[in-house]
Chains A and B, each alone.
Chain A
């Protein structure tokens, strides 16, 4: 009887597994749109902004062609991210307005937090810090001093990282926000290594404020290791730039120039001319120093 039961169990499993197979294939246009999007996300992760933008535009066209509203919304959000990475504020705002409109008209509330975060990032890039802070506050989780009360999601973590950056720009409560960011990162479900590198950079900035240069350099070297492991070119360039600035503060101009040159090379490879010019200015200041 027991043996028979096992046979029936095996037969039942076979029947269920055959039921599980999906024999319905997706329409070709939808598959193409998804493939374009996937390619575009890969290009974005490789920091190939123009290629990412081109591919996202193609997937957007396909989604518009089949009136896939969620697909259109996702494409617009992705295009905002790419535009922000390229510092193309005009394009970012254009896509963001359309995305917000879709969220409102279609009632897709799940994307509202993402839209708010993007509005904050646009405002920060426009140097409208107060406005950016206002948007970020809408996303902030509850804190008890430096500690988080509940768990957080990826959008909130990104908001806290941005808010910490804002604190350094405004020179207000930097250590508190660094502490909050550190605690938030600990509580995050998927701890992103690039954000960890960013935390190390914030901590090194605090140490530089306290003139603890050796500890600050240690943290920056750790951050450099992380961004190199992740092949985040913007991250590598930024850490090299900060190491150059640190070396300049320490008065070791040869090392500082070396870091600046390396930073320029990496920023050039990403195509971030604004940053290249900024590093060049710093380099020039060092070069004229006796």
Chain B
């Protein structure tokens, strides 16, 4: 502020003038004040401080995680807050919800409130879901039906009760008593498999062991070869019978054609030789396969042993058995006294 010393008789109030610095400071203070007001307005807007609200109600079984000020959402948007908690009928808690007037459009007739206590520990998330956005807006003061999830504490308490009741009823000891029976059942399964081994070992092995499957394929293939050869032999034999048929039917014809038949005899003998050779080959093949059968059977037993081992593994898996058996137990023959 500058006062002119030359005009000292004049009223100094009417002669106030500001320099640039003072003007800048004033502008800065003023703009700060405007900004402050602007922020306050935004805050008021965000906190819906002076916005008109409509009250709705939800009845919950427990007020756990719900307290005044809890946010209410709909379609992911904040639509209101919990304003009050009071006792309702049927030992329920009536939760008053204040929904902002602007967001009221999100709450339609048929809407349901979902109280989720598992998302945030200590705070429940209340979400209002409307069935259809075309439905009319829900009237203020309505009670919204509610779905509640159990809290983490409820879940842990339930688990604890389960353990407690299992403990009280000696369920674990009963389960332990049941284990030998289960083991016995598995033993019976072993027995059944052994029976299959003795009755249908090759088939059983073919199921479990690829090596046996291969051998079985060889056997089947050879068997098919043998059968096709046998078919050939039978066809030839049939031809012979067909040839012999007229001879047997008509002795007269046979007598007349005896010369013709005897003429065919060397050829027939030759064919018979071929048949014998073929039969011999077939028998050799069969013999070869028979020689392979012990090996196949052994492999089948091996496959079944593996299955047995698998069952043992299942049997030894907790909680079916407490102890694991060792395969090495029978690897070495027990010491023997002098052989007589």
A195 shortest CB reach to chain B, Å: 7
Q: Are B337 and A3 in contact (CB under 8 A)?
A: no
Find chain B residues with CB under 8 A from A165 CB.
337-338
Q: Is A102 an interface residue (CB 8 A)?
A: no
What does DSSP make chain B's interface, helix, strand, loop or mixed?
Answer: helix
A11 shortest CB reach to chain B, Å: 10
The chain A residue sitting closest to B313, CB to CB, is A22
Size band of the interface chain A makes with B: 35 or more
Q: Are A4 and B160 in contact (CB under 8 A)?
A: yes
**Count the B residues whose beta carbon is within 8 Å of the partner chain — how many?**
29
Residue numbers of B with Cβ under 8 A of A are 156-157, 159-160, 163-164, 167, 298, 301-302, 305-306, 309, 317-319, 327-328, 330-340
Q: Is A161 an interface residue (CB 8 A)?
A: yes
The chain B residue sitting closest to A83, CB to CB, is B339
Q: Are B333 and A81 in contact (CB under 8 A)?
A: yes
**Top 7 closest pairs, chain A to chain B, by CB:** A161-B337, A3-B160, A17-B318, A158-B335, A162-B338, A81-B333, A158-B337
Q: Is A41 an interface residue (CB 8 A)?
A: yes
Other-chain residue from B163, B331, B336 in contact with A3 (beta carbon distance below 8 A)? B163
Among A30-38, A140-148, A245-253, A280-288, the stretch that binds chain B is A30-38
The chain B residue sitting closest to A275, CB to CB, is B340
Known A6-B163, A17-B319, A21-B317: A161·B333 in contact at CB below 8 Å: no
The chain A residue sitting closest to B160, CB to CB, is A3
Complex interface residues of chain A between 117 and 176 (CB less than 8 A to chain B): 117, 121, 124-125, 154-155, 157-159, 161-162, 165-166
A-B contact pairs, 25 of them (CB 8 A): A3-B157, A6-B160, A7-B159, A7-B163, A20-B318, A21-B317, A34-B327, A35-B306, A38-B305, A38-B327, A39-B301, A42-B330, A78-B332, A78-B333, A81-B333, A81-B336, A84-B336, A84-B339, A124-B338, A125-B339, A154-B335, A155-B335, A161-B337, A161-B338, A166-B338
Which of B160, B302, B333, B334 is most buried by chain A, counting CB atoms within 10 A of its CB? B333
Find chain B residues with CB under 8 A from A38 CB.
305, 327, 330-331
Known A7-B156, A17-B318, A32-B302: A41·B336 in contact at CB below 8 Å: no
Find chain B residues with CB under 8 A from A77 CB.
332-333
Q: Is A211 an interface residue (CB 8 A)?
A: no
Given the complex of chains A and B, what is the CA–CA distance between A37 and B339 in angstroms? 21
Q: Are B163 and A74 in contact (CB under 8 A)?
A: no
Find chain B residues with CB under 8 A from A74 CB.
331-332
Find chain B residues with CB under 8 A from A117 CB.
335
Q: Are B331 and A41 in contact (CB under 8 A)?
A: yes
A198 shortest CB reach to chain B, Å: 7
Q: Is A238 an interface residue (CB 8 A)?
A: yes
Given the complex of chains A and B, what is the CA–CA distance between A34 and B330 in angstroms? 9
Complex interface residues of chain A between 1 and 34 (CB less than 8 A to chain B): 3-4, 6-7, 10, 17, 20-21, 31-32, 34
Find chain A residues with CB under 8 A from B339 CB.
84-85, 87, 121, 125, 234
Given the complex of chains A and B, what is the CA–CA distance between A125 and B333 in angstroms? 19
The chain B residue sitting closest to A3, CB to CB, is B160
B194 shortest CB reach to chain A, Å: 12
The chain B residue sitting closest to A156, CB to CB, is B335
Given the complex of chains A and B, what is the CA–CA distance between A67 and B334 in angstroms? 24
Given A159-B337, A195-B337, 18 other A-B residues pairs in contact with their CB atoms under 8 A: A3-B157, A4-B156, A4-B160, A20-B318, A21-B317, A31-B309, A34-B328, A35-B306, A74-B331, A77-B332, A84-B336, A85-B339, A87-B339, A125-B338, A158-B335, A162-B338, A192-B334, A238-B340
Q: Are A162 and B337 in contact (CB under 8 A)?
A: yes
Q: Is A260 an interface residue (CB 8 A)?
A: no
Q: Are B306 and A31 in contact (CB under 8 A)?
A: yes
Q: Are A41 and B335 in contact (CB under 8 A)?
A: no
Find chain B residues with CB under 8 A from A121 CB.
336, 338-339
The chain B residue sitting closest to A33, CB to CB, is B331
Q: Is A233 an interface residue (CB 8 A)?
A: no
Find chain B residues with CB under 8 A from A6 CB.
160, 163-164, 167
Q: Is A69 an interface residue (CB 8 A)?
A: no
A134 shortest CB reach to chain B, Å: 15
Given the complex of chains A and B, what is the CA–CA distance between A165 and B340 in angstroms? 10
The chain A residue sitting closest to B304, CB to CB, is A35
Given the complex of chains A and B, what is the CA–CA distance between A6 and B161 in angstroms? 11
Find chain A residues with CB under 8 A from B328 CB.
34
The chain A residue sitting closest to B328, CB to CB, is A34
Other-chain residue from A32, A82, A154 in contact with B334 (beta carbon distance below 8 A)? A154
Find chain B residues with CB under 8 A from A166 CB.
338
Find chain A residues with CB under 8 A from B156 CB.
4, 7
Q: Is A177 an interface residue (CB 8 A)?
A: no
Which of B318, B327, B334, B337 is most buried by chain A, counting CB atoms within 10 A of its CB? B337
Find chain A residues with CB under 8 A from B340 CB.
234, 238, 275
Given the complex of chains A and B, what is the CA–CA distance between A219 and B218 in angstroms? 57
The chain A residue sitting closest to B337, CB to CB, is A161
Find chain B residues with CB under 8 A from A154 CB.
334-335
Find chain B residues with CB under 8 A from A34 CB.
327-328, 331
Given the complex of chains A and B, what is the CA–CA distance between A30 and B51 in angstroms? 81
